[in-house]
Structure 1
Amino acid sequence: MAMCCVLLSLPVSPHAIDDPNSLDSFIRDFASNRSRRRTGRLYEVVLPANFSGIEASIVTLKSGSLWMRGANFSLFGIPPRVLPWPYVRRLEIVYENLGNWSSSYFNPPNHTLVSPVIGLIAYEEKRRRNGINSKIELNVIKDPITLHFPYISLPHHNNNVNASAVKCVGFQSNGTVEFSNVSRNRTCSVRGVGHFSLVIPTPIPTPPKQQKKKKSTAWKWWVIIGSVVLGILGLLLLIGITYKAVKGKRLGKMERQSEKSESLDCVWVGSSKMPCATSIRTQPALENAYVP
């Protein structure tokens, strides 16, 4: 199917929009406010420079035609046997490619985005008289809806990731995240509208080798210091034991020697106790005591 372009003038940037639901409504409002479009024709919405990186398209469909024939485009495909819920006679489908803004709105837990987030949002056709802008669901009866992703961008450190590690992820409006397998040619099969992308598991970071080397070197230094301290303590203990043994041996020798010697009396001189030998003096005698 051919694609036409619609040039829009948006006064704000994605930075001013807090959540993806507000972004969906914002793009849809401007995509709908234009002249009458042909039913079944996909129109490209050309966004201004402050929305650089985001692409959007819009198509109006009849519910009866969607049920009988479906709708096939290069960007997505809706098989037959699909009905809007709640039921409306005419509906609008907005296709979004968030490009480099994807990670600003969606971050799957423990996974990394490897493709832009694709939005496929259905609305009841907006009438000029009442300005209806309500979202609706697509009830898939048989075959799933297919979404084609333009490219996969693997991180440099994950160039060897197996193709089976790439998964489809669907971001539901209630905040839940659902994973499924990727079909061939970077295609995801989904059973409803919402936002979708391709992801890979986020690798668990490993500590750098330099840090391991620093930790190993520090451990070696602690072992060396501990060994030196233990050696010094052991040497001091050995010196103390040796000194005590030598001192005890000397005291024993002195005690044995004192037992063999003559015991001496002790006298106090002031506050000091001193040994004193027993003195026996020879009685004096006069040389001329006996006179003839």
Structure 2
Amino acid sequence: MSGTPTTATPQAAPARPLTTPAGRMAALARAELTMYGRSKGTLFAALFVPLVLPLSVAQAADEMDLKGAGLTLGTVVLPAAIGFALLFAVYSALVGIFVTRREELVLKRLRTGELRDAEILAGSALPAAATGLLQSLLLMTGCALLLDMSAPSAPHLIVAGLLFGLVICVALGAVTAAYTRTTESAQVTPMPMLIVSMLGSGMTVPLEVLPDRIATFCELLPLTPVVTLVRGGWSGDLSASDSLTALVTAVAWTALSVFAVRRWFRWEPRR
């Protein structure tokens, strides 16, 4: 029995998404980088201030009993330089960026497109975070060469501290922006975090030279575990228990700050 041959109908290939999360964030980051480069005040604070402040730390360190605390000039200045880069190039810069984009309704318009909330925040933060990372690496290299420091004893602790510092500063920048009403006030609202971190997180004054009670309290500050991990990773003097304590504190601040962003970040101007 002969029959009419049948031809199989080709199945249409599943439609591929036109964009991916990585592609969307990269496009947003490129646009943000253009606007970031046009802000002279932000660039000055992000690029110049972290280069100058370590000089004042070096001068102050000459009057400290570093040998008695088991420290050297390099292990004081280098972590401080990285801390300054994170504070000014990432945290302080992002407060102004998030507030400005919110007041200009940029964030509101972005939410109406394909971008998800996390992608908007991450893409907007990428240029500042990349600047902070690059500057930290340059400062690390410069301090190691100029201060004749030996190779780091535990590089993995330095990497962990730097990565935690970037995430914490990005998240806290978004949290601070949530409570900042105007672009002008964005120059003021980061000050408490800047002052507390510079004085209490072991940047300008190492915790090793502080009284025990004050040092114990300062260990709980957001950037203290970052400075502790970087300093201990370079010197090799950080014990396993102290490393674990610093890592747990960093994880706790990361989780707390991310929760605060999800709970309180504002996408539209205050009315």
Q: TM-score range by the shorter chain?
A: under 0.3
More helix by share: 2
Give me the TM-score of the superposition, normalised by structure 1. 0.24
Structure with max Cα Rg: 1
Give me the TM-score of the superposition, normalised by structure 2. 0.25
Larger RCO (CA within 8 A; separation ≥ 6): 2
